[in-house]
Chains A and B, each alone.
Chain A
């Protein structure tokens, strides 16, 4: 039991902090701080700045650009990145398909994809969910049928985040419809988004933004060499991938930054002749939220310390569940601080409403997603009840 970071880790933390606050373009970090959507070029520029310093994919195997860091170092890396408003390396590349290819891909696939995936030369998107396969992902119906040297893919995916920017898709497809367990007949294919037969339809979200899409496949021919790992083992790879997705999903650093911003905003708005932050009810709400976040951060550190064998700690479900709730609570706090200014979402020049108040409500509405994606909070409760409590 020891509170302090070792001098080495303290120096590491300082190194990360310095890098993130000086080497990633300020205008990109300002945009993240302002909760504005980034352009594709901005995502790419930020990730390449990280990758040039070897900081885009530290959790990958060393031979493919990883750092052989301890889990605590990775935690610090991620937290400092979020605190500095640096956009994280694209999850689909860095946390999802990259580690899967590194673990289950063949040598040719690794050489073909991994360096470009780390540098965001290839932008990946995820083809997992379907209209009838959300939380029940294993009931997916998109099929791939072998025809000579190709797989022929037909079906539909949905919730494909930032698919409009994507070069390639990694896609769960049903290759054995006769398998006794529905999990057993699924394979993982990768293919370019400009393959004939692939069409993409953007879905507008309640914040007015476009970040998710439907993707349709009509007789899409995918070369057999684009199968990742073994045929009909795709479910195992998906579980591996989603386990990685849950790590870092607590987003403590980002919520911490948001609460700090909320306090600044609550100093700017005055109520009854004094700053809103001095309203006892507001101050207590902030204090509770800060304390909940502290508890989450400490739990993340505990989980990090106990997951050295590479397997996700069972309590990582707590991180997803509570992390999403606190992101939402912090954004809700900002909306409430904005008060009547929170309706001015699409104000442009000529409005006196500060930028943070304009984006508050769209962000709050958009953030409803965080308790749904990555395994909904109800799925997390099912995991906790089943695997931890044995219910």
Chain B
């Protein structure tokens, strides 16, 4: 058991932080940027590609860096620290992760290489308005058509769905054949995408398929388990993004308490406020430990789905606590768009609802409480 980063990992963090600080060190830059489509900076995206970050978890033979979950965690946390709007987790960890997990060699070589170079951005079209946080599809169905497939139905909200060059789509297979995964090109016929802003400055889309031509991702068939796993890995990455965001929210709040004066003294003279900041620190550090552990479980080949639920539960509770308190401890300025802290709360709230919230994770863990005597994080590999 070792919680220390090695020197290469520290170098990676420093490099990513430097790049993102230059891009978003001034929070006003981000605010202006997200006002216009596509909601992120294509130049920053290119720089992330140049640094190799967009191919970070993929095999070198597919144009990637062959790095592990801890490196992904480091990048995600640094993205969260400045709430960078680039869709790193959505495109690389989630959509890219699915392509890497189930794609054919040809699909991997083509798509992951282009993703790593920054020339193709994939998105995962999975959520449907009538269900939530399931690894299956029902509103979008797949029909075999000759050698290929067509898809029909609607996905929403699809993060980054309007800008994406290619969509990885989950769809119900006929005759209770489970949920398959398909590739749909952005310019496919019968594809209608209506994008809009999300509250956190991101982008999402309503994506309609009307007999839209599609290609099976990988060998086809039921991919529910692969989706569950990819969602789990994205949940872990989001946990790290939220740790970065919480860290900044707390540091910003502490700084404010030291400088803002009321009643003739700085706010840190009021114990009612400093104790609440102390509780935010407790929440943050407990969540950080759990997120790091989940990445180590993933790295060690343990039960990544259960570990992700645990990280999700802890970071959900912490994110709500810290996000809300950060605003309250600032007072009115915290609710304004001009000041940065409220944007962190907005992003934490979005992360909390994209792939499953704390109550949802707690319910899943609750279903398994009778199956183990104690939770043993040191037992290797962690088996849930």
A residues within 8 Å of B by Cβ? Answer: 1-5, 9-10, 13, 72, 76, 83, 256-257, 259-260, 263, 267, 277-278, 280, 283-284, 286-288, 290-299, 301-302, 305-306, 315, 318, 321-322, 378, 380-382, 384-386, 388-391
Contacts and interface: CB of A to CB of B under 8 A. Distances in A.
Given A284-B366, A291-B313, A4 B1 contact: yes
Interface string B248-260: 0010001001100
B35 interface: no
B314 A291 contact: yes
A13 B250 CA distance: 37
28 contacts: A3-B377, A5-B380, A260-B373, A280-B363, A284-B359, A284-B366, A287-B313, A287-B368, A292-B314, A294-B290, A294-B310, A295-B287, A297-B377, A298-B292, A298-B377, A299-B285, A305-B3, A322-B282, A322-B286, A378-B275, A384-B281, A384-B282, A385-B275, A389-B274, A390-B254, A391-B254, A391-B257, A391-B274
B225 interface: no
A259 B314 CA distance: 18
A197 to B, nearest CB: 41
Interface stretch (B118-126, B227-235, B293-301): B293-301
B2 interface: yes
Interface in B206-264: 250, 254, 257-258
Nearest to A289: B369
Given A291-B313, A302-B289, A1 B296 contact: yes
A152 B287 CA distance: 52
A298 B239 CA distance: 16
Interface string B86-112: 000000000000000000000000000
B258 A390 contact: yes
Closest 10 CB pairs of A and B: A4-B380, A298-B289, A283-B366, A287-B365, A3-B296, A385-B274, A384-B278, A295-B286, A381-B278, A287-B366
Interface string B1-32: 11111100100000000000000000000000
Contacts of B5: 1
Q: In the complex, which range does the number of interface residues on chain B fall in?
A: 35 or more
B70 A290 contact: no
Interface of B: 1-6, 9, 70, 250, 254, 257-258, 268, 271, 274-275, 277-279, 281-282, 285-287, 289-290, 292-293, 295-297, 299-300, 302, 310, 313-314, 359, 362-363, 365-370, 373-375, 377-378, 380-382
Contact of B277 (A293, A305, A378, A385): A385
Nearest to B365: A287
A328 B101 CA distance: 44
A299 B286 contact: yes
A388 B281 CA distance: 9
Given A294-B310, A391-B274, A321 B282 contact: yes
* Interface residues of chain A: helix, strand, loop or mixed (majority): helix
A128 to B, nearest CB: 24
Contacts of A299: 285-286, 289
A151 B351 CA distance: 64
B158 to A, nearest CB: 30
A257 B365 CA distance: 19
Given A1-B9, A278-B370, A291-B375, 16 more contacts: A2-B2, A3-B381, A4-B1, A4-B380, A256-B375, A283-B370, A284-B363, A287-B363, A291-B362, A294-B290, A294-B377, A295-B289, A298-B290, A298-B293, A380-B278, A388-B281
A12 to B, nearest CB: 11
A294 B292 CA distance: 12
A35 B295 CA distance: 37
B63 to A, nearest CB: 25
Contacts of B378: 4-5, 13, 76
A3 B287 contact: no
Contacts of B292: 1, 298, 302
Most A CB within 10 A of own CB, among B268, B300, B359, B374: B374
Contacts of A10: 380
Given A1-B295, A256-B374, A391-B268, A72 B366 contact: no
Nearest to A381: B278
B254 A389 contact: yes
A315 B282 CA distance: 8
Contacts of B302: 3
A3 B293 contact: yes
Contacts of A306: 3-4
A164 B383 CA distance: 47
Given A3-B380, A4-B300, A384-B282, A302 B3 contact: yes
B271 to A, nearest CB: 8
Contacts of A256: 374-375
Nearest to B367: A283
Nearest to A264: B373
Contact of B1 (A3, A83, A288, A382): A3
Contacts of B275: 378, 381-382, 385
A292 to B, nearest CB: 7
B320 to A, nearest CB: 14
Contacts of B287: 295
